[in-house]
Amino acid sequence: MTAIAYILTGWNLESWTNAMRQLEPSMDIRSYPDGMGRLEEIGYALAWRPPPHVLEGIKNLKAIFSLGAGVDAILADPTVPDVPIVRIVDADMTMRMSEFVVMHVLMHHRQQKRIDENQRAKLWDPFATHAANALKVGIMGFGVLGQDAGAKLKAMGFEVAGWSQSKKHVAGIETFAGRAELDAFLARSDILVVLLPHTAETTHIINRDLIAKLSRNGPFGAPILINAGRGKLQKERDLIHCLETGQLHAASLDVFEEEPLAQDSALWTHPRVYVSSHVAADSDPLTISRNVLRQIRRHEAGGALENIVDPRRGY
């Protein structure tokens, strides 16, 4: 079989090559930067944030697999060969993203930061909370990940709606689409969950203007933001301003404009902000590799690839 090459930035190479060897011991595995061998033998690139120009020289490339959710780094490089880019839509990754979203919605709803603070103060404080259906959750980015999180939040009792670029029809969930319906979607959302891809159009979409359009009718009087999509979607200066002025009640941020988040960012220390280190939907090497291997085998046998990125759309 044709060789495959791992081109990873910021990820542990060995955990990926080990996973692939475990699944297919005979696989010819190359790796960037020191183990690429003869480039013309490489048929598939398995990439995460590949550096510019690295894919350019692979003449017989048949497809690029993006091992994480998000293909912005690949699309940003104009020298990438004109082959299908496969976005891994993996059940495991979807489950993990929904865990993150459901957990953070619940932690805000049940005021876990207040409970943690009470515990530190050894304060017994049986305060009352609203029922879940008092909170309207809006999921911005309503593809596979958003719909799965939405269904789980609905099962937990929250009022869920989804917004996406193109109209989606999901049983029992109100959906909004396109710029024309964005303001109505924002106006009904007490908690905004952002799972958008990063494209030219979505850069800095989470800014002061968007936050001003969110609902003030929820139990906390001001909206809550959960961004588990991409850091470049948010304008952090605006987030900090809105948190300080109370226009934003609280936030959960897993992604940032620059990662790691700078030591002097006010987000680290805000009392109602959860900061995590881009861990919402961790890519598990073994399950992702199983998906990639299955697709490579099918493609080699003349079958189709799944979830091919539309470069014009950006995802």
Q: Indicate which residues carry an active-site annotation.
A: 230, 278
Residues in the chain: 315
**At closest approach, how far in Å is the CB of 251 from its own copies?**
12
Quick count: other Cβ atoms within 10 Å of Cβ 196? Answer: 23
- Give the tokens for residue 83: 């082959």
Choice between 29 and 132, CB closer to its own copies: 132
Choice between 176 and 274, CB closer to its own copies: 274
Q: Which of 14, 40, 116, 244 binds its own copies (CB under 8 A)?
A: 116
Phi-psi region of 172 (alpha: psi -120 to 50; beta: other; left: phi over 0): left
Distance separating alpha carbons of residues 123 and 120, to the nearest angstrom: 8
Q: Which of 221, 260, 303, 311 binds its own copies (CB under 8 A)?
A: 260
> Could you give the string, one character per residue 125-164, with x where binding to its own copies holds by CB under 8 A and - elsewhere?
xxxxx-xx-------------------x--xxx-------
Choice between 58 and 191, CB closer to its own copies: 191
Cα separation values, 109 from 106, 119, 154, 247, 269, Å? 5, 18, 14, 18, 20
> Could you give the string, one character per residue 67-106, with x where binding to its own copies holds by CB under 8 A and - elsewhere?
-------------------------x--xx-xxx-xx--x
Choice between 152 and 208, CB closer to its own copies: 152
Choice between 28 and 92, CB closer to its own copies: 92
23 binds its own copies (CB under 8 A): no
**At closest approach, how far in Å is the CB of 315 from its own copies?**
22
**At closest approach, how far in Å is the CB of 195 from its own copies?**
17
Choice between 262 and 308, CB closer to its own copies: 262
**Nearest CA-CA partner of 105 in 191, 40, 46:** 191
Return the axis-axis angle of helices 144-155 and 91-109, rounded to nearest 10°: 40
112 binds its own copies (CB under 8 A): yes
Block residue for tokens 């990639």: 292
What is the total count of residues that contact its own copies (CB under 8 A)? 44
DSSP H stretches of helix in the chain = 13-23, 72-75, 91-109, 112-120, 144-155, 178-187, 208-212, 236-245, 285-300
**Maximum distance among all alpha carbons in the chain?**
67
274 binds its own copies (CB under 8 A): yes
Q: Who's near 300: CB < 8 A, 6+ residues apart? A: 1, 2
184 binds its own copies (CB under 8 A): no
End-to-end CA distance of the chain: 29
Q: Who's near 145: CB < 8 A, 6+ residues apart? A: 69, 93, 94, 97, 98, 195, 281
- Give the tokens for residue 68: 């994480």
277 binds its own copies (CB under 8 A): yes
122 binds its own copies (CB under 8 A): yes
245 binds its own copies (CB under 8 A): no
60 binds its own copies (CB under 8 A): no
In the complex, the residues that contact its own copies under the rule CB under 8 A are: 92, 95-96, 98-100, 102-103, 106-107, 109-110, 112, 115-116, 118-119, 122, 124-129, 131-132, 152, 155-157, 259-261, 263, 268, 274-279, 282, 284, 287
